[in-house]
Amino acid sequence: MTISVSINKEADIGKFLDFMNSPKYPGKRAVILKAYPEIASVINNGADEKTAIKNIISNLYSEKEEQVKNILSDLKNELANTDMIINSLANIMNHDISANNYEAILTLLPFSPFKNNIFYFSIYSLIFRNKDGGPRKNTSIVFTAIHEISHFIFFDQLKEWEEQSKKKISHPTEHYFKEALTAAIMNKEIFKNFFDYPKLVNSENYRGNPELHALSISKENNETENIVAFFEREMFQNKNNYKTNLFRLLDIFYQNQEKFAQKWELRNNWLLSPDENRDIIMAKYCEPILFKF
């Protein structure tokens, strides 16, 4: 298993353009424009969106060239000698990644997307720092690598479930499933002991992506728990093996797909809405999902 890290300005600009008009992730447009008000400004003044983004991001790469190169060097050093902790992920997920090659590309996006065996590592908070010189938030490429590789493994296992079950889950269902699964895995002691979660994610436990924080599952007996806690219990607190639990949960999520589609629409509406409407949308988003089993 290897992970290479590189700078690829053109690939990064391509990701900006993809997420500015993504049908799967419509809310990412608002996230990008909030992080880069200069992009919003020139677009609002009538500039061609594609040209504006290309120019602004290209100029940033030129302006921050030395800083980006130094970050790249630091990240390569951080990744050195971390095979053990990354391979522990494969052991937990019962999947062989010994022959896999992964590629990390630095991105100026304020989030870290992925595709196939490539993940983009956001250096936004390292480039645009606080007034005291510290990063806007703490980051770790090893942490991001484990997070994203867990998704790559999951997609292989999802294909296996699809072939066996002759079923297919929707994008919103898939998104919530993979993110909650990853958070549950990364709350195992081996990762909590390796990473300083209070410093890295401002919590004793890894809560996962922000869209999971207020998402909860309710059963018919009215017991409610956060979706990450639900995955921790259902995946790792019984005697069944990993794959059996995974496929059982996929069957359950398949039965509840329309509920995840509704939550995903609310989440994206919240990202795109003006501040005065956000509390109303979030209140609806926080209503627990009543699972049918």
pLDDT of residue 219: 78
Please tell me the predicted confidence (pLDDT) of residue 232. Answer: 97
Mean pLDDT of the chain: 95
Buried b / exposed e along 208-231 (16+ C-beta atoms within 10 A): bbebbebbbbeeeeeeeebbbbbb
- % of residues, the chain, pLDDT over 70: 100
Query: Which backbone phi and psi does 105 adopt, to 5 degrees?
Result: -120, 130
3-state secondary structure of 185: helix
Tokens, residue 113: 């997307």
Kindly tell me if the per-residue pLDDT of 293 is higher than 80.
no
pLDDT band at 30, cuts 50/70/90? very high
Q: What is the pLDDT of residues 157-185, one digit of tens each?
A: 999 999 999 999 999 999 999 999 999 99
User: What does the pLDDT look like over 75-133, one tens digit per residue?
Assistant: 999 999 899 999 999 999 999 999 999 999 999 999 999 988 999 999 999 999 888 88
Instruction: Show me where the domains of the chain are located.
Output: 2-82+89-153, 171-290
pLDDT one-digit tens code per residue, 232-268: 999 999 989 999 999 999 999 999 999 999 999 999 9
Judged against a pLDDT cut of 80, whether residue 221 lies above it is answered with no
**What is the spatial distance between Cα 207 and Cα 111, in angstroms, rounded to a whole number?**
16
Does the pLDDT value for residue 230 go beyond 90? yes
Handedness of CA 131, 136, 140, 145 (dihedral sign): negative
Distance of CA 271 to the CA centre of its chain: 16
- CA separation for the pair 241, 189 (Å, rounded): 18
